[in-house]
């Protein structure tokens, strides 16, 4: 893999450039989807663990996979939470784990086969990284080993950027009107349609969206929706 791709990720200045760097890297590996999660685990009484996500996970998949019980049954999730070794998954892994229904749920969104790795960091933190696609993994063991090595090295380069960028100093508080606008935007509605549904002008919708760009540190509507979902604001 080109060294510049690793540097694009490790030296990312903000959420948008970090996300794009990960996506570009995944595409170079012939994977259409990539997701990273920085897990900050808390063990003191009354404290909850936190999870900060980044990637190009389809919003439709996030909506379909909201059941918190899925993660406890998912063999890939269980592996990366306790084992840093890379894991190659496909339908058989899920079936053998008694979770074939989870594979059936995620497959239509492009999650048919993939690779997942994790990096254990200081301070009870873990950076989890996975790439997914519809095509089978290469049968050539040399090519497969190269993919595993590339993803492991990417995770190492990405962990510092993840800690620097993904953990917000303060998660922004959105006005209920802003949340309404984001939800309708997520459904693919234009600013004019959103304004008509909410009884406000198109200019007012665009004004709210510009404020959201600043609050969420993004540059377009799709990134605003994804960032809001990842921060648990939608």
| 79, burial (CB in 10 Å: exposed 0-12, middle 13-18, buried 19+) | buried
For residue 195, the enclosing domain spans 176-230
**Does one domain contain both 146 and 222?**
no
Look at residues 125, 144, 165 and tell me which one is the last residue of a structural domain. 165
| Residue 171 counted as domain residue | no
pLDDT at 3: 80
- What pLDDT is stored for residue 141 in this prediction? 94
Q: What is the pLDDT of residue 168?
A: 63
Structural domains in the chain (count)? 2
What's 110's domain CATH number?
3.30.450.80
Domain of residue 194, CATH code: 1.10.10.10
Q: How far is CA 30 from CA 24, 142, 214, 227, in A?
A: 10, 16, 33, 24
Do both 100 and 20 map to the same domain?
Answer: yes
Predicted local distance difference test score (pLDDT) of residue 123: 67
Q: Do residues 103 and 189 share a domain?
A: no
Q: pLDDT tens, position by position, for the chain (234 residues)? A: 678 889 989 999 999 999 999 999 999 999 999 999 998 887 767 777 888 899 999 988 888 777 778 888 999 999 998 888 999 999 999 999 999 999 999 999 999 999 999 998 876 788 999 999 999 999 999 999 999 999 999 999 999 899 888 876 666 778 889 999 999 999 999 999 999 999 999 999 999 999 999 988 889 998 898 888 767 677
């Amino acid at each position: 893999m080109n060294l510049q791709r690793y540097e694009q990720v490790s030296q990312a200045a903000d959420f948008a450039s970090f996300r794009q760097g990960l996506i570009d890297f995944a595409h170079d590996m012939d994977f259409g989807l990539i997701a990273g999660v920085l897990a900050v685990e808390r063990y003191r009484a009354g404290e909850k663990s936190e999870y900060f996500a980044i990637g190009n996970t389809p919003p439709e998949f996030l909506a379909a996979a909201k059941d918190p019980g899925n993660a406890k049954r998912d063999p890939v999730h269980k592996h990366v939470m306790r084992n840093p070794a890379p894991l190659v998954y496909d339908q058989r892994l899920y079936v053998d784990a008694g979770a074939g229904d989870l594979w059936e749920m995620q497959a239509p969104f492009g999650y048919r086969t993939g690779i997942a790795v994790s990096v254990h960091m200081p301070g009870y933190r873990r950076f989890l990284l996975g790439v997914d696609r519809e095509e089978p993994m290469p049968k050539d063991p040399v090519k497969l080993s190269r993919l595993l090595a590339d993803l492991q090295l990417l995770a190492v380069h990405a962990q510092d950027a993840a800690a620097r960028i993904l953990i917000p100093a303060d998660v922004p508080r959105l006005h209920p009107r802003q949340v309404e606008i984001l939800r309708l935007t997520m459904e693919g509605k234009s600013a004019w349609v959103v304004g008509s549904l909410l009884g406000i002008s198109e200019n007012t919708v665009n004004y709210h969206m510009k404020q959201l760009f600043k609050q969420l540190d993004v540059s377009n509507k799709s990134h605003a929706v994804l960032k809001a979902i990842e921060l648990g604001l939608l």
